[in-house]
Amino acid sequence: MADQDWQAYLEAIDQADLTELEALRVEVLGRRGKLTEALRALSQLPPEARRESGQMLNRTKAAIEERLMSRRQTLAESALVQRLAEERVDLTLPGEPIALGHPHPLAMIQERLVSIFVAMGFQVALGPEVEDDWHNFEALNFPKDHPARDMQDSFTLASGGWLLRTHTSPVQIRAMRASAPGPLRIIAPGRVYRRDDDATHASAFHQIEGLVVDHGVSMAHLKATLATFVRELFGSKVAIRFRPSYFPFTEPSAELDVGCLFCGQKGCVLCSETGWLEVLGAGLVHPNVLLAGGYDPEAVTGFAFGLGIERLTMLYYQIPDVRILLQGDLQFLEQF
Ligand code: DAH
């Protein structure tokens, strides 16, 4: 093969893409390649011609190998340049914002309520959610078969005598038994359970219990404490009234209402046209409860109160259905 034919290969290599390059290499340098065959044919030549042709072919082989290598390099580099251009990252672009959460409205209200009482000198006390009948009912002056038990339809656990607490009041008993005969001023926030499920009652909800036991604690202390609490929460102008009520663990018992926040006490659906919203239950601790707590009812008196956090949250934010508070729906939660 003449010099210019090898020259044509060199030029073809310079134009080839990766696949063509491999085809050319095989065609020239492969086991049956043109140059390989030509080198093999040298042995048939007379010595003089063999040397001359041999040198020429070896130079050509080196040249082709070198061109193949440099073309491969060029192709690899341009592929890299192209990839870099395609995958270029602009570090000056603003980042994806990270969505920050915030506390749930129930948690915010609970925090608010707790901090109002803590500012008045109350300590936070906690109790178990799985209770026994004695702490949940008996010690709170609900004897077995007492009709007041019907107000708190409970979830009982299969294993002997345990139930999910129906209110935070059993923490009163636990706190008293831990402090008697000393003075006591606690609030107990926590989750409670009842067999209820409708627009205003969930089967799991939250309460805050309050309890003060000391020498000479009276209804006046109770009223002043709760009035301070309500005004801290809803503002100093809100109307308040105490209404006689019944709870087994207090005597006398009362319920606290606030003037309807929605209609300015003119009467609306939210206050059932009464102008008043019921906020909490309270009273002076029944002597039997003081006894169960380890105190001498002749020596000390106490007041107690209990409120529902869901109910207060619904009033505070004007939420019509308690179930929305439990669904974890972001469209709802992001409004707070
Ligand atoms: N435990 C009552 C309930 O769940 C609420 C309550 C009422 C608590 C009066 C009290 C109280 O401490 O004095 O319905």
Residue nearest to atom 8 of ligand 1 (CA): 306
CA–centroid distance, 102 to ligand 1, in Å, is 30
181 part of a folded domain: yes
Average pLDDT, integer, range 19-24: 92
pLDDT at 320: 76
pLDDT at 158 exceeding the cut of 80: no
256 part of a folded domain: yes
Which CATH number belongs to the domain containing residue 206 in this structure? 3.30.930.10
What is the rounded CA–CA span in Å between residue 223 and residue 10?
Answer: 104
DSSP 187: E
109 part of a folded domain: yes
CA–centroid distance, 188 to ligand 1, in Å, is 12
What domain range is 191 assigned to? 105-333
Query: Please, are residues 59 and 7 in contact by the beta-carbon 8 Å criterion?
Result: no
Strand partners, 187: 124, 210
95 part of a folded domain: no
CA–centroid distance, 168 to ligand 1, in Å, is 8
For helices 3-15 and 18-29, what crossing angle results, to 10°? 160
pLDDT in tens, 243-277: 999 999 999 999 999 999 888 899 988 788 999 99
CA–centroid distance, 247 to ligand 1, in Å, is 7
Strand partners, 211: 186, 304
* Shortest-distance atom of ligand 1 to CA 283: 13
Ligand 1 near 142 CB (within 6 A): no
What is the rounded CA–CA span in Å between residue 226 and residue 305?
Answer: 9
* 143, amino acid identity: P
* Shortest-distance atom of ligand 1 to CA 151: 14
Average pLDDT, integer, range 200-213: 91
Q: How confident is the model at residue 2 (pLDDT cuts 50, 70, 90)?
A: low
For helices 219-234 and 309-317, what crossing angle results, to 10°? 40
pLDDT at 52 exceeding the cut of 70: yes
Give residue for tokens 């042709």: 53
Same domain? For 19 and 116 the reply is no
Same domain? For 82 and 109 the reply is no
Average of per-residue pLDDT values in the chain: 92
Average pLDDT, integer, range 18-44: 92
Q: Where a domain ends, among 36, 52, 86? A: 86
pLDDT in tens, 215-230: 999 999 999 999 999 9
pLDDT at 321 exceeding the cut of 90: no
237 part of a folded domain: yes
Same domain? For 295 and 179 the reply is yes
Ligand 1 near 135 CB (within 6 A): no
Strands (E) in the chain, as ranges, are 123-124, 130-132, 162-164, 184-193, 204-214, 240-247, 250-259, 276-285, 301-308
Residue nearest to atom 3 of ligand 1 (CA): 167
Number of compact structural domains in the chain? 2
Ligand 1 near 234 CB (within 6 A): no
pLDDT in tens, 74-123: 999 999 999 988 888 888 999 899 888 889 999 999 999 999 999 999 99
Q: Could you tell me which residue, 113 or 4, shows the higher pLDDT?
A: 113
Kindly provide the b/e burial profile for residues 116-140, where b requires at least 16 CB atoms within 10 angstroms of the residue's own CB: bbeebebeebebeeebbbebbbbbb
